[in-house]
Chain A
Amino acid sequence: MSFVEIISLSLAAILVENFIFVKFLGICPFIGVSKKTDTAIGMGLAVIFVMTVASAATYLVNQYILIKFDLNYMQTVAFILIIAALVQFVEMFLMKMIPSLYQALGIYLPLITTNCAVLGVALLNVTKELNFIGSVINGCMSGVGFAIAIILFSTIRERLVFADYPKAFEGFPIALVSASLLSLAFMGFQGLTVFK
């Protein structure tokens, strides 16, 4: 893949097709974890890591097992099993090898298994028909987009406490309305392409 293509893919994954503000994937942890900035940073890093490794693993399985043996209908089951096993494996590995990182990530690692974003990026790699490097870059950059979105949003949410909104909107609804404004801002990136 040429350098321009890589930049183009990265920009698309982070800005133009941002997983939260454009594609609606990964909303549950987005609203749930973004109350404080430190937790948001932790979750963002964990998601980047899992999405990158999951993209690589699902690409390999899809290419060398599912397509080879004509088992395309097993895609959903195979992908979700890979992701669940991967997260479990990564958790065990971190617990033994890098316990400080394991402590820092905390409970967010198992929470990522049922995250729409991870399965979503795996399925998107298949739909877009990217090769191995493309899939890994798409996974990594989509994770970066997710992390940017969640960290940005957490900074806004920390200041929402001092805002003066109707009492009915307490909690979730005002977070959703703020997310809509951020999403409106991200709409400005549509049509952004790298000149070839």
Chain B
Amino acid sequence: MKKFLKQLIDGLFTNNPVLVQLIGMCPTLATSTSLKNAIGMGLSAAAVLICSNVVISVLRKIIPSKVRIACYIVIIAGFVTIVDLLMQAYLPDLSVSLGMYIPLIVVNCIILARAEAFASKNSVVASLFDGIAMGLGFTFALCLLSIFRELIGNGTIYGIQVFGDSYEPITVIVQTPGGFLCLGILIAAFQVILKKIKRRQRS
């Protein structure tokens, strides 16, 4: 249980896939325009990550090393198709607003990186917890970014108006340039905070 807690803190903060490892940027920038999109995207990617981690860990002794990347991609693509179809059936509005970024979870660097670096070398239970930790970390980063972007760029959070009518939203923040800018600032701020915490822990 303690090991899982350590993995969770690792995935959320010290080794956050987006903010520290700096992978999986494409969906982060594109789907963080609103909190609803961010949560939907984060949880879908987390679901695929957990399932693919488990399956790859189960099959890790059978997959030959030469074709392992192709095998991982097939397994991940299978789960992405399942998630895509489920979303189209039960959450059609979210599926439309996320657009083609759901099928693009297949090439999400995070899932392939965790499969290569962790699931192919560790037990099923450890891979399951790693998938949960990294998936939650990804969702956390997405939510942080999207709260910031939606609040300033739209005046709402999850569609609920927060600022009054007199607030003129800075729309460029929810468009492409704003995405780059906010993510850059967020990564810088996050790493500064992490460094300060590490320094305090050491002293």
Contact flags A108-129 to B (C-beta < 8 A → 1, else 0): 0000011110011001100100
Of A7-15, A71-79, A133-141, the one touching chain B: A71-79
Q: Which residues from chain A contact B22 at a C-beta distance below 8 Å?
A: 31, 172
Interface size on A, residues (CB 8 A): 42
Q: Is A179's CB within 8 Å of the partner chain B?
A: yes
Task: Please state if B85 and A73 are interface contacts (CB–CB under 8 Å).
Answer: yes
Number of inter-chain CB pairs below 8 Å: 112
CA distance A115 to B107 in the complex (A): 7
Q: Which residues from chain B contact A181 at a C-beta distance below 8 Å?
A: 177
A31-B25, A115-B107 known; A127 vs B100 contact (CB < 8 Å) = yes
Q: Which residues from chain B contact A44 at a C-beta distance below 8 Å?
A: none
Interface of B is mostly: helix
Task: Please state if B177 and A173 are interface contacts (CB–CB under 8 Å).
Answer: no
Q: Which residues from chain A contact B23 at a C-beta distance below 8 Å?
A: 28
Task: Please state if A176 and B177 are interface contacts (CB–CB under 8 Å).
Answer: no
Task: Please state if A183 and B77 are interface contacts (CB–CB under 8 Å).
Answer: no
Q: Which residues from chain A contact B80 at a C-beta distance below 8 Å?
A: 76
Interface size on B, residues (CB 8 A): 40
CB distance from B47 to the nearest CB of A (A): 15
Q: Which residues from chain A contact B70 at a C-beta distance below 8 Å?
A: 81, 84
Contact sample, A vs B, 8 pairs, CB 8 Å cutoff: A23-B30, A24-B26, A76-B81, A76-B84, A114-B112, A127-B100, A176-B181, A180-B176
* A contacts, CB < 8 Å to B: 21-28, 31, 73-77, 80-81, 84, 113-116, 119-120, 123-124, 127, 166, 168-169, 172-177, 179-181, 183-184, 186-187
* B contacts, CB < 8 Å to A: 22-26, 29-30, 69-70, 73-74, 77-78, 80-81, 84-85, 100, 103-104, 106-107, 109, 112, 172, 175-181, 183-185, 187-189, 191-192
